Amino acid sequence: MVSVWFARRVLLIVMPQLAEWLEKTGGVSADALSGDRVAETEKKRYQQFEHEAAQQQVPIVQDVLPRERIFEAEFLVNSVKLAITRSQKVKLILLDDKNSVEVISVMSVPEIHKIIGELLRLSDAANWQVPNPWRHALAVHEESQKTVH
């Protein structure tokens, strides 16, 4: 098992980039919401829905590995890289500050959404105030649309 630690600073930087990467590389929103015909608010609402729906596609599984199969390691994540494989899976690469320790995981787009959702949930529990990249953009946009009297 690998224990991965994220600093708040890394999550603040990585979350918007993950959301932007997902928007550009996959999902219905990349195709259905392209062009000027859809308002920015509607795009953000749809992307938030897509994020929530993708998370629901991945069941929560809690397995207990036999002690002899557990490899223990831990490190602090300093950067995250993403790539699309030939089989249309997402390759998630976690690197430390020296780029010497890395964890590579290949997963589906819904599984990436699940990871993002869990990181957001844990950061909320720690009161780190890491904004949900879809909700935050939507809230800021809606806030700017309010009428001032």
Side by side, which strands form the sheet with 79-84?
79-84, 90-95, 102-107
Residue pair 77/102 in contact (Cβ under 8 Å)? The answer is no
Side chain identity at 126, as an amino acid letter? Answer: A
What are 104's two structure tokens? Answer: 């590579």
DSSP at 67: G
pLDDT at 127 (0 to 100): 93
Q: What is the pLDDT of residues 8-29, one digit of tens each?
A: 988 898 888 888 888 777 655 5
Residue pair 85/91 in contact (Cβ under 8 Å)? The answer is yes
pLDDT at 141 (0 to 100): 47
Q: What is the pLDDT of residues 67-94, one digit of tens each?
A: 665 566 677 888 888 888 888 888 888 8
Interatomic CA distance for residues 33 and 111, integer angstroms: 22
3-state secondary structure of 106: strand
Q: What is the pLDDT of residues 87-100, one digit of tens each?
A: 888 888 888 888 87
pLDDT at 99 (0 to 100): 82
Q: What are the residue ranges spanned by the domains of the chain?
A: 2-144
Give the chain's mean pLDDT: 76
pLDDT at 130 over 80: yes
pLDDT at 124 (0 to 100): 92
What are 142's two structure tokens? Answer: 């809606």
* Residue 142 Cα to chain centre, angstroms: 23
